[in-house]
Amino acid sequence: MHGRSRHPRAFLSRVGQSGRVATWQDVEEIALALDGARPGNADHGGPTVDVGRHPFARLRWDDEGRELLQFWSFDLDSEAALADRSETFVRVDTFAVKASIWARLDLLDRTELGEVLTESWRARRGVRG
């Protein structure tokens, strides 16, 4: 974890489609392979993966201690598109040009995790294509 302290985790009884719970370690493995990505820290603590001056992946926790991934998207209709997956995507904040989305890591498989991290990397470094 690059020397950062870990938040206590609650017992996770549900695993992703791959048969294994996605973790922040998976986020780092996938995200740090993207061009220009580097580990960072949020202003109020907790690890991030940054590109340029911005985080594109941030670790958060829910009230039960489950790991949440905060990521960003150019899709301003994300809230409507993800409405039927509210168990996984627990918060969507829409701003002028991007949406900030929080997802439960233990409900994402590695394929979907890779997709959301790549979208977030593009959104935070300003690449639309």
The C-alpha atoms of residue 45 and residue 4 are separated, in whole angstroms, by 9
Please state whether beta strands 38-41 and 47-51 pair in parallel, antiparallel, or not at all (unpaired). antiparallel
User: What is the average pLDDT across 49-56?
Assistant: 96
For 17-31, what is each residue's pLDDT tens digit? 445 679 999 999 999
Q: Is the pLDDT of residue 80 over 60?
A: yes
Residue by residue, DSSP assigns 92-121 as EEE-SS-EEEEEEGGG--HHHHHHHHHHHH
pTM of the model: 0.80
